[in-house]
Structures are given as structure tokens and as C-alpha cells.
Amino acid sequence: MGDMAKLVVELLVSDFAQSLKFYTEVLGFKQLYDRPEEAFAYLDRNGAQIMIAQHEAGDERSWIAGELVQPFGRGMNLEIEVEDVEALHASCLRHGARIFLAMEEK
């Protein structure tokens, strides 16, 4: 599978097919491997790696320690280095992504 990152986050999603399409077609991630029967995929974009998995209520293997309500990922910030952030931002807007903060340089 190539080089694996030393730290990879797993993001729970409410619609696996829609999320996989967004991460691959809009954000430019490549799927390194998947487990379709579990609605799971391991994704990479130039060394930035994430896992996405379908959230299933009542899953006995779940590591969720509290109530999970949408939108998922609240209070979490992920930073991924990209070559052309303006083009990526424009792609997100074209595809209807909700952008919570305007881009800024710090």
C-alpha cells in the first residue's frame, strides 16, 4: 500500500457514497484501499491520509464516547497542505460545500 502516515484520523460519515465522492472527486484524494462491506475507505492526497467510515447507530465496535449529532467533526480542525488552495476552494464552492470561515493567511 505504499508509505503509510504515522498518524491518520478516521472520520465518521453519515453517507459513505456521497462522502467518498466528495473526498475523491472534489478534494482530490485517491483511494488506497477500502472495505466495501464495512463502508470504509483509506484515502491519500499527496501524503495527507484519512480514513472515512459509515457511522452505524448501535454498532458494538463503536469507539464513540458521547452523543453523536450532526454536523460531525465539530470542534476539530484538520490542516492539509495543498499546492493550489484557491483552486481547491473554488472546487468546494462549485460542489456546494459549506464553508464556515473565509480563507485567510496567518
Q: Where are the domains of the chain?
A: 1-57+70-106
What is the CATH code of the structural domain delimited by 1-57+70-106? 3.10.180.10
Per DSSP, 49 falls in state E
Q: How far is CA 62 from CA 15, 32, 43, 67, 106, in A?
A: 17, 23, 21, 12, 37
Taking only Cα atoms into account, the Rg of the chain, rounded to an integer number of angstroms, comes to 15
Please write the tens of the pLDDT for every residue from 58-76: 565 566 666 767 766 666 7
d(CA 102, CA 30): 26
Retrieve residue 50's grid coordinates. Answer: 484519512
Tell me, what's the pLDDT at 3?
76
Tell me, what's the pLDDT at 90?
93
